[in-house]
A and B are shown apart, each in its own frame.
Chain A
Amino acid sequence: MKVVEAKGLPYRELNREVRRLLTAGEERLLLRGINGQRYIGAGLTGAARLEIEGTAGNNLGAMMDGLTVYVDGNVQDGAGNTMSGGEIIVRGSAGDITGYAMRGGKIFIQGNAGWRVGIHMKSREQSPAVLVIGGKAGDFLGEYMAGGTIVVLGLNTPLHQEREAANPLAGNYLASGMHGGAIYIRGRIPAWQIGGQVRSALTTPDKNAELKAWIAQFATGLNLDCSAFQRETFTCLTPEGNRPYARLYDHSA
Chain B
Amino acid sequence: MPRSLIPPEFLVARDEGRCLKCKACVRQCGFGVHTDDQGRGISIDERRCVNCQRCVVMCPVGALKVTANPSVGRENAYWPASRLREIWRQAENGGSILTGMGCDRNYPVYFDHLLLNASQVTNPSIDPLREPMEIRTFLGRKPEKVSIAGPPGAERLADPLPPVVQLEIPVMFAAMSFGSISKNVVLALAQAAKRLGIMFNTGEGGMSSVLAPYREHMIVQVASGRFGVDNAYLEAGRIIEIKIGQGAKPGIGGHLPGEKVNEEIARTRGIPAGADAISPAPHHDIYSIEDLSQLIYTLKEATDYRKPIAVKIAAVHNVAAIASGIVRAGADIVVLDGLRGGTGAAPKLIRDHIGLPVELATAVVDRRLREEGIREQVSLVASGGIRSSADLLKLICLGADAVYLGTAALLALGCHLCQKCYTGKCSWGIATQDPSLTRRVDPQWGATRLVNMLTAWGHEIKEFMGAMGINALESFRGNRLQLRAVGLPQNELDQLGVKQAGEAM
Contact = CB atoms under 8 A, between A and B. Distances in A.
A65 B275 contact: no
B93 A250 contact: yes
Given A42-B298, A63-B234, A101-B225, A147 B284 contact: no
B298 A81 contact: yes
Interface string B219-263: 000101111011100100000000000000000000101110000
B297 A242 contact: no
A146 B93 CA distance: 27
B405 to A, nearest CB: 26
A37 to B, nearest CB: 11
A180 B284 contact: no
A3 to B, nearest CB: 22
A86 to B, nearest CB: 10
Interface in B393-423: 420, 422-423
Contacts, number: 156
Nearest to A117: B284
Interface stretch (B95-103, B142-150, B321-329): B95-103
Interface string A9-42: 0011001000100000000000000000011001
Interface in A201-253: 242-253
B60 interface: no
Interface residues of A, number: 53
Interface stretch (B73-81, B301-309, B471-479): B301-309
Interface string B183-209: 000000000000000000000000000
B285 A84 contact: no
A147 B272 contact: yes
A144 B95 contact: no
B278 A147 contact: no
Contacts of B276: 179, 242-246
Interface in A65-119: 65, 77-78, 81-82, 84, 97, 100-101, 103-104, 116, 119
A160 interface: no
B225 A120 contact: yes
Given A81-B285, A101-B229, A122-B270, A243 B258 contact: yes
Interface in A124-165: 124-125, 140, 143-144, 146-147
Given A116-B284, A242-B258, A63 B229 contact: yes
A146 B278 contact: yes
Binding site of A, secondary structure by majority: helix, strand, loop or mixed? loop
B275 A146 contact: yes
A39 B284 contact: no
Nearest to B224: A120
B375 interface: no
A244 B243 CA distance: 23
A45 interface: yes
Contacts of B89: 250, 252
Contacts of A143: 280, 284
Contacts of B231: 43, 45, 63-65, 84
A123 interface: yes
A115 to B, nearest CB: 9
Task: Indicate the size class of the contact surface on chain B.
Answer: 35 or more
B31 interface: yes
A89 to B, nearest CB: 20
A192 to B, nearest CB: 23
Contacts of B226: 82, 100-101, 103, 120, 122
Contact of A251 (B48, B95, B222): B95
Most chain B beta-carbon contacts within 10 A, residue among A58, A122, A125, A246: A122
A41 to B, nearest CB: 9
A241 B133 CA distance: 58
Given A251-B422, A253-B50, A246 B258 contact: yes
Contacts of A167: none
A242 to B, nearest CB: 3
Nearest to B261: A242
A177 B270 CA distance: 17
B294 A100 contact: no
B285 A100 contact: yes
B93 A144 contact: no
Nearest to A78: B285
A59 to B, nearest CB: 5
17 contacts: A12-B301, A39-B297, A43-B301, A103-B226, A103-B229, A124-B270, A146-B272, A147-B270, A147-B271, A177-B278, A180-B275, A243-B258, A249-B95, A250-B98, A251-B95, A251-B98, A252-B89
Interface of B: 31, 48, 50, 89-90, 93-98, 222, 224-227, 229-231, 234, 255, 257-259, 267, 269-272, 274-276, 278, 280, 284-285, 294, 297-299, 301-304, 347, 420, 422-423, 425
Given A39-B298, A116-B285, A250-B95, 16 more contacts: A15-B301, A43-B302, A63-B298, A78-B285, A82-B222, A84-B231, A100-B285, A125-B267, A144-B280, A147-B271, A147-B272, A177-B278, A245-B276, A246-B258, A250-B89, A251-B423
